[in-house]
Structure 1
């Protein structure tokens, strides 16, 4: 390799590293009651810093300080920027306007320097192991609210994305198609949740790249995912059994997804998310950051030519 080629490759690696972000769920930190052992913010943020990543999603309410300035200061103390966060919200109830709730949430995003709002169509129930069926009227309410929220967020300089998610009202292939055809909001391409819901994430990355505004990268053991699809396992049980694995070690073609998105001009973050459930304080040999390290190494080894993130 020539010196010029080596310099170009080094530049590409730095650019890609700048767009790799993480999320506390990879350390077992989750909003679902009873999910598992919850590590302290100090432990998780220190691990993130030591891994060399520069940005993270917020995690569930209460993980970081509620005060936005204190939240930003806490992240800054560990050398981390705020990507944004996952906000489950009821969108299908005509009697509840979600826009004022999101507007209040965005004040905190802005104060913390975050630019990505990741929505899920919450059922109004606890957990992700069951969901109701919507009427056509409820679907129209949901879709209209998605566009209203996206427009409001854009006016504040924040990119809103809808996250298809197991156990929410946008889970299946048909649900995703409803969002793609019935609204204009961008998608959060969550490779694991799409697959479990029956949608090929590679197909979405290739066919609908123009609608992808945020990415959550997960790799999955297909056998466990199929157990969830058949109703033989709850989502929570499948996670507990190790459904999610470091990138490149499961059955999703992560390499094709990333290289395809890069080829079509995606310039946003890749948030590494391997949902896990801890049963106690991790040991030196099973600490969550070890799996995150393998995912980072896999991404940095891909033959892509990324650019730095833009806001």
Structure 2
């Protein structure tokens, strides 16, 4: 039996691509804390967090004993006049050169942040679905796996959106337990019904009461994150243990990325998010060890 592939992500330390998203910690803080939590691999984080040249990016990770998994790439996929392939291809160039294997696509709105999104018409949905299949095939031809990440504040957020992806395209999914739940999809239901489409997993637990307020439009997503929307594994209302069991039953062999989105109001005076990351690592190792 192979060991589970467990990785981290800089967003668990509040490092995010959204302008104004709280205090941004430096790699010199985040990467050693990843290793202190027992992690040996990570997603890249937003542009600017690590050096841009792929060799330099890989060198920084290697210096901290971390392998590169891949990264989050928001792309405008729904506009017929916008070809996402050149930008995505540049991301693939960098990912491959740094030794990463996963391209985590999100259907970006073209706006800043994740507190709102437009509704698409049928023509825009057709363009989006076609682009997903085209990009997934292109990535595969370059030795990469592209997955689609349902994400609050993008064009694939709700259960209806997820169902359109499942029925209208063949792109694999990134099962993000937190964003799915906040967007109105029970991640446990999805892990039962569509585990065969899951090629990558982002694990976070969720404060159900805050999630309901976001879903009802009573609280902006960013405000909910600042108030602790995402919780360490086992301390929220998502059935993380059940989801892990469903993936194991489906013989899932992809990465489990610990990705608890946080927003830091200022530089922490103590170890900051590290305690929560450690708690999630312990939970994950305990439950995966039972399989």
- Do the two structures share a fold, i.e. TM-score over 0.5? yes
Cα distance in 1 between the residues matched to 2:254 and 2:290: 13
Residue of structure 1 aligned with 2:277, choices 261, 270, 292: 292
Q: Gaps spanning 5+ residues in structure 2: where?
A: none
Q: 1:19-78 CA deviation, whole Å, 9 max, x = no partner?
A: 110100000000000000011111100101122211000000000000000000000000
Q: 1:152 matched to which residue of 2?
A: 138
1:127-276 alignment runs, 5 A limit: 127-276=113-262
Cα distance in 2 between the residues matched to 1:198 and 1:119: 20
Alignment partner of 1:24 is 2:10: yes
Cα distance in 2 between the residues matched to 1:77 and 1:155: 30
- Give the 4+ runs in structure 1 shifted more than 3 A: 303-306
Cα displacement (A) at 1:254: 0.2
Computing the radius of gyration from Cα coordinates, the structure with the larger value is 1
RMSD over aligned CA atoms reads 1.1
Secondary structure in 2 aligned to 1:301? helix
Residue of structure 1 aligned with 2:24, choices 24, 38, 54: 38
Cα distance in 2 between the residues matched to 1:42 and 1:59: 14
What TM-score results when the alignment is normalised by the length of structure 1?
Answer: 0.92
| Contact residue 246 and residue 294 of structure 1 kept, 8 A | yes
Cα distance in 2 between the residues matched to 1:273 and 1:283: 22
Equivalent pairs counted in the alignment come to 291
Cα displacement (A) at 1:283: 2.4
Cα distance in 2 between the residues matched to 1:248 and 1:95: 44
Cα distance in 2 between the residues matched to 1:264 and 1:305: 15
1:44-63 alignment runs, 5 A limit: 44-63=30-49
Alignment partner of 1:69 is 2:63: no
| Contact residue 262 and residue 305 of structure 1 kept, 8 A | no
What TM-score results when the alignment is normalised by the length of structure 2?
Answer: 0.98
| Contact residue 161 and residue 213 of structure 1 kept, 8 A | yes
